[in-house]
A = this chain, B = another copy of it.
């Protein structure tokens, strides 16, 4: 219970940064006129890196509930950016693919992301960024463990990749 009334405590700063990052991303996406919400954009890019996966896998990778993903997919599908194909190996499951017309959009989103992050990380060296990324992945792994069993954090397992 180390006394720490610091408004710049790690948790605060982390949440601040995330909120602002999201809102900055949102503004960029809106300005770019892509017709997607940030969540949809994020989902689409994620899918592009996991082409042909099942919804559950994608949801797990994104750290959201399957139902939440399903809603995004409905939108993306109705816009024609993704397809749900039946999994030949399991008729319950569906495999998610991006459509050809999504290509340019995905590239745009990535550009927005990268440009934003370049602005935001300006003044920090590449090695430090790499280090920070690794630490954050560790946090993420700890948080995943927390979500699963509600208690014990990861101790030795590496953050993966």
Contact = CB atoms under 8 A, between A and B. Distances in A.
20 contacts: A5-B48, A7-B61, A9-B113, A11-B21, A12-B42, A13-B140, A14-B21, A16-B140, A17-B18, A17-B143, A18-B18, A19-B63, A19-B64, A21-B139, A24-B147, A119-B146, A120-B146, A123-B156, A124-B135, A128-B135
A161 B7 CA distance: 9
A8 interface: yes
Given A61-B7, A122-B153, A142-B123, A18 B19 contact: yes
A142 B154 contact: no
A114 interface: yes
A136 interface: yes
Contacts of A121: 10, 139, 142
Interface string A112-147: 011111011111100011011101111110111011
